[in-house]
Amino acid sequence: MLATGGSAVSGINTLVKAGAREENIIFVGIISAPEGIANLQKNFLLVRILCAEYGKKLGNKGYIVPGLGDFGDRYFGN
């Protein structure tokens, strides 16, 4: 999921610091929100984004609307 984009930006920062070229990175996700896409593009202009579904916005809890809720928390029992 690409909701706020914070985790994606952090992960891509790690890749770039390890020597990956930004133009060779593709973010692949199931669902994205416009805010996450904007954050990723603001930080990494050359990273390509491929998502299967596009949510309309983030809700007040930072969840993609309509979307999956906080799938990570539910999956890992948090």
pLDDT at 78 over 60: no
Q: Identify any residues that bridge with 48 across adjacent strands, giving them in sequence order.
A: 26
Domain that holds residue 47: 6-61
pLDDT at 69 over 60: no
Look at residue 26 and tell me if it is in a domain.
yes
The pTM of the full predicted model, rounded to 2 decimals, is: 0.79
pLDDT of residue 61: 78
21/55: higher pLDDT: 21
Q: What is the pLDDT of residues 33-49, one digit of tens each?
A: 999 999 999 999 999 99
pLDDT of residue 77: 64
- Give the chain's mean pLDDT: 87
Domain count, the chain: 1
Q: Is 62 left (phi over 0), alpha (psi -120 to 50) or beta?
A: left
Amino acid letter at 14? T
Look at residue 72 and tell me if it is in a domain.
no
